Amino acid sequence: MNIKIGAKIKELRKRQSITQEQLAGALGLTNQAISRWESESGYPDIEYIIPIANFFKVTANYLLDDGGHANWLKIGMGCDENKGLYCSFCGKDHTQVKKTVVAPNNINICNECVLLCVDTMMSVQ
């Protein structure tokens, strides 16, 4: 098992334009702790897994997944929860759609593209 929680935290943080200081402040830690996690020279204590997941609106399973299977992240709604998200398919910003589903590997899909996919699949015989 090769968990890369530090890389995931860094990716989520950068994707949402959050600084190490901001994350540290939200968790009541120092930015040096965040830096250690992101450089893989340390891991968050187990008590911080859920707060980190909640901060980024992801599941704890996503943070702890070793890449052996796909873990979907939570569906987000609203600007504060999805800062900087856009649909990987149509390119719309999260403020232009009702919901955005964030998935592994930097793939995001908006509710409009999901409906388009469903309509297309239903029309194919």
Residue 69 lies in a domain: no
Give the pLDDT score at 100.
81
**Same-domain status, 86 and 47:** no
Give the pLDDT score at 24.
96
| pLDDT tens digits, 2-39 | 668 898 899 889 988 999 999 999 999 999 999 999 99
Average pLDDT taken over every residue of the chain: 79
- Residue 61: pLDDT above 90? no
Domain of 81, in residue numbers: 75-123
Inter-residue contact 45 to 59 (CB < 8 Å):
no
Pick left, alpha or beta for residue 54 (phi over 0 → left; psi -120 to 50 → alpha; otherwise beta): alpha
pTM of this prediction? 0.55
At 24, list the tokens: 């540290």
Number of domains in the chain: 2
The CATH number for 49's domain is 1.10.260.40
